[in-house]
A and B are shown apart, each in its own frame.
Chain A
Amino acid sequence: MSTDKIREILTSHGRLTESVDNLKDDSDLYQAGLTSLATVGLMLALEDEFDIEFPDSVLSRKTFGSINSIADTIEDLTD
Chain B
Amino acid sequence: MQKNASVQHTQFEELLQKVHAVGKETIANHASDVDEKARFPQESIEALKSLNLMSAYVPVEYGGMGLDIEQVGKICHILGHYCGSTAMIFAMHKIQVACVVHHCLTVEYFKNFAKRLVSEQLLIASATTEIGIGGDLLSSFCCVEAHDNEFDLTKKAPVISYGEYADALLITARRSADAAKSDQVGVLLNKDQYSLEPISDWDTLGFRGTCSSGFVVTGKADIEQIMPIPFTDALSQTMHPYSHVVWASLWSGIAASAVGKARSYVKNAVRKNPTAPPISSIRLGEVDTALTTMKNNVAASTKEYADLLNANNPDAFSNFSFATRINNLKISSSQLLIDIVGKSMMICGIASYRNQSELSLARHIRDAYGASLMVNNDRIMMHNSTLVLMHKE
**A contact residues vs B (CB 8 Å cutoff):** 17, 28, 30-33, 36-37, 39-40, 43, 53-57, 59-62
Contact = CB atoms under 8 A, between A and B. Distances in A.
Interface stretch (B62-70, B190-198, B315-323): B315-323
A30 B392 CA distance: 23
A60 B320 contact: yes
Interface string B367-393: 000000000000000010011011111
18 contacts: A28-B183, A30-B232, A33-B182, A36-B386, A40-B386, A43-B390, A53-B392, A55-B392, A56-B319, A56-B321, A56-B392, A57-B319, A59-B392, A60-B315, A60-B316, A60-B318, A61-B318, A62-B318
Given A61-B318, A62-B318, A40 B390 contact: yes
A56 B391 contact: yes
Contacts of B320: 59-61
A42 B321 CA distance: 17
A28 B183 CA distance: 10
Contact of A36 (B315, B321, B387, B393): B387
B392 A37 contact: no
A36 B383 contact: yes
Nearest to A58: B319
A56 B315 CA distance: 13
Interface residues of B, number: 19
A33 B180 contact: yes
Contacts of A55: 392
A59 B321 contact: yes
Given A37-B386, A56-B391, A61-B236, A31 B182 contact: yes
A30 B183 CA distance: 9
A40 B389 contact: yes
Nearest to B236: A61
Contacts, number: 48
Closest 8 CB pairs of A and B: A61-B318, A60-B318, A60-B319, A59-B320, A37-B386, A56-B392, A36-B386, A62-B318
Nearest to A47: B390
Contact of B180 (A17, A37, A53, A60): A17
Contact of A59 (B180, B183, B383, B390): B390
Contacts of A54: 390, 392
A36 B393 CA distance: 19
B133 to A, nearest CB: 15
Contacts of A43: 390
Contact of B183 (A31, A40, A53): A31
A33 B393 CA distance: 28
Interface in B166-199: 180, 182-183
Contacts of B387: 36, 40
Contact of A62 (B315, B383, B386): B315
A32 B179 CA distance: 11
Interface string B229-244: 0001000100000000
Contacts of A36: 383, 386-387
A31 B315 contact: no
B195 to A, nearest CB: 31
Contacts of B232: 30, 61
A62 B318 CA distance: 7
Contacts of A33: 180, 182
A43 B389 CA distance: 10
Interface string B313-350: 00110111100000000000000000000000000000
A7 B236 CA distance: 26
A59 B182 contact: no
